[in-house]
């Protein structure tokens, strides 16, 4: 390793949000910490860059942060003092239909319910108890599997969350708006909507929309990472960039090592130090579909057929539950849907720092089979055009990244999987393995702190936080 590294109580490898969170928690406990990042820039899945034309700032991976806004770890930090400002669009989410109708996820439960017609009361019965108790519920949901602190609340949530999204929709609703809205939310899980527990992510994202909104950071996703890094330095932590770690043997001696990597990378880093049953179990860890992403520099705002879409920074493009479910099923069957479910963000509507005056940015991705190199630009843009006629005429420039290219950009995105592995029921309860301490590895003092540990994918820092707490127990 070309840089001389001073001894430390702990080294953290990988400066994504979870690596930063782990380092902060260790430093808050008075430990000396050095954070190592292989890239020249910190951030992992929370970075910004000028991907298209001069003056246009794009979010390279993540862009909208409902779980970040609800994260107990983020709430414990002075992020506003460190320059992070959340922008709350008037509506967290828009879900248009091809005929020009649109359903909005509003901050107000009552306002959202009024848009759902015959399913208004059913939606309130489903969501009101969750939103009313969102903080204690999230405390259990964003924790490793353990005896819950709020067992009755968690049991009530599980009654619906463990269902497939299709089953939940059949049980609860009769119209098209509510099932479509929840289908778009549940599709963030990357799971087929017929699979058990595919409703869970949809319910969590929905309740967060009502409780804390779906905000974006002023100035781009990179501001999240910059604020975390600034706080770490304030606590005395050290950050070294452009220092890729190929083996655990490269690291100086320390009392603990925390790795913001996925199981496949851990196996490579550990080499012969990791063998036996633990290695064989870890080799069976499963990765899910990848993403194909497009960033646009636009001559103007997206011309939505349903004008209310301009009230939200996030727009789900897929139509009805049946259409979304069909597209997601195709991905799991190894195919590339002609009409993919598209997750779109339009940050410059609410943050003018993202583009020159009068211009705009757009961000969108769809799910594809793991490791795909197929160019989905035309399919994504056709979906946008379907709900916003004339969109194509506004494109000044675009930047694209395939699932395979995502792994080149960020080695944690195996095959383009941005969730750190499949998040089905088995790999949430046993992530990466079913054991009492999911962060500890078979090597004493070495811990995983990535999204391949509980509670899984998302920019919230909770994987890093819980891994650091496990490491601190070890250090005692």
Q: pLDDT for 390-437, tens place per residue?
A: 999 999 999 999 999 999 999 999 999 999 999 999 999 899 999 999
| Per-residue pLDDT, 2 | 52
Every domain of the chain and the residues it spans:
8-63+220-287+419-475, 86-216+289-408
According to CATH, what is the number of the domain 8-63+220-287+419-475? 3.50.50.60
pLDDT tens for 149-205 read 999 999 999 999 999 999 999 999 999 999 999 999 999 999 999 999 999 999 999
Which of the four pLDDT bands, split at 50, 70 and 90, describes residue 147? confident
**pLDDT > 90 in the chain, percent:** 96
| Per-residue pLDDT, 3 | 65
What's the average model confidence in pLDDT over 444-457? Answer: 97
- Partner residues linked to 102 by β-bridges: 96
pLDDT tens for 358-401 read 999 999 999 999 999 999 999 999 999 999 999 999 999 999 99
Which of the four pLDDT bands, split at 50, 70 and 90, describes residue 145? confident
| Per-residue pLDDT, 288 | 98
pLDDT tens for 70-99 read 999 999 999 999 999 999 999 999 999 999
Whether 125 shows a pLDDT value over 80: the answer reads yes
Phi, psi (rounded to 5 degrees) for 411: -60, -20
pTM: 0.96
Looking at domain 86-216+289-408, its CATH class is alpha beta
Which of the four pLDDT bands, split at 50, 70 and 90, describes residue 331? very high
pLDDT tens for 246-284 read 999 999 989 999 999 999 999 999 999 998 899 999 999
- Which tokens sit at 186? 């549940």
Cα dist. 122→118, 119, 212 in Å? 8, 5, 22
Which of the four pLDDT bands, split at 50, 70 and 90, describes residue 1? low
283: CB partners within 8 A, 6+ apart: 263, 267
Whether 221 shows a pLDDT value over 90: the answer reads yes
| Per-residue pLDDT, 24 | 98
What's the average model confidence in pLDDT over 129-133? Answer: 96
Name the average pLDDT for the chain: 96
Which of the four pLDDT bands, split at 50, 70 and 90, describes residue 466? very high
pLDDT tens for 97-115 read 999 999 999 999 999 999 9
What's the average model confidence in pLDDT over 354-358? Answer: 97
What's the average model confidence in pLDDT over 298-319? Answer: 98
Cα 48 to chain centroid, rounded = 15
């Amino acid at each position: 390793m070309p840089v001389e590294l001073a001894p430390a109580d702990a080294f953290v490898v990988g400066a994504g949000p979870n690596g930063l969170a782990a380092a902060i928690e260790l430093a808050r406990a008075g430990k000396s910490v050095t954070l190592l990042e292989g890239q020249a820039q910190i951030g992992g899945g929370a970075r910004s860059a000028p991907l298209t034309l001069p003056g246009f700032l794009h979010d390279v991976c993540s862009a909208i942060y409902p779980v970040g806004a609800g994260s107990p770890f983020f709430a414990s930090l002075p992020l506003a003092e460190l320059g992070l400002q959340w922008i709350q669009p008037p509506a967290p989410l828009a879900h248009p239909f091809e005929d020009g109708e649109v359903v909005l996820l509003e901050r107000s439960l009552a306002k959202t319910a009024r848009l759902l017609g015959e399913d208004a009361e059913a939606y309130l019965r489903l969501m009101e108890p969750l939103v009313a108790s969102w903080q204690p519920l999230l405390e259990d949901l964003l924790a490793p599997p353990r005896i819950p602190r709020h067992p009755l609340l968690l049991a009530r949530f599980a009654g619906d969350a463990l269902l497939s999204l299709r089953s939940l929709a059949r049980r609860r609703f009769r119209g098209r708006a509510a099932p479509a809205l929840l289908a778009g939310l549940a599709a963030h899980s990357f799971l087929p909507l017929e699979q058990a527990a595919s409703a869970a992510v949809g319910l969590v994202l929905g309740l967060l929309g009502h409780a804390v909104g779906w905000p974006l950071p002023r100035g781009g996703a990179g501001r999240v990472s910059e604020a975390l890094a600034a706080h770490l330095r304030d606590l005395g932590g050290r950050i070294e960039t452009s220092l890729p770690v190929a083996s655990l043997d490269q690291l100086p001696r320390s009392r603990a090592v925390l790795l913001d990597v996925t199981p496949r990378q851990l196996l490579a880093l550990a080499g012969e130090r990791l063998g036996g049953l633990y290695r064989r179990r870890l080799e069976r860890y499963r990765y899910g579909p990848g993403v194909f992403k497009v960033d646009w520099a636009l001559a103007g705002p997206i011309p939505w057929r349903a004008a209310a879409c301009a009230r939200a920074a996030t727009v789900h493009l897929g139509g009805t539950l049946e259409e979304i479910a069909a597209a997601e099923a195709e991905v799991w069957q190894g195919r590339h849907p002609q009409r993919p479910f598209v997750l779109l963000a339009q940050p410059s509507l609410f943050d003018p720092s993202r583009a020159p005056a009068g211009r705009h940015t757009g961000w969108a991705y769809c799910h594809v089979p793991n490791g795909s190199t197929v160019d989905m630009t035309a399919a994504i843009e056709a979906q946008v055009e379907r709900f916003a006629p004339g969109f194509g005429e506004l494109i000044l420039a675009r930047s694209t990244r395939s699932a395979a290219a995502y792994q080149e950009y960020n080695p944690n995105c195996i095959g383009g999987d941005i969730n750190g592995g499949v998040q089905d029921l088995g790999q949430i309860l046993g992530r990466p393995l079913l054991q009492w301490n999911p962060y500890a590895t078979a090597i004493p003092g070495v811990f995983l702190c990535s999204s391949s540990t509980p509670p899984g994918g998302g920019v919230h820092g909770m994987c890093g936080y819980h891994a650091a707490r496990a490491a601190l127990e070890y250090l005692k």
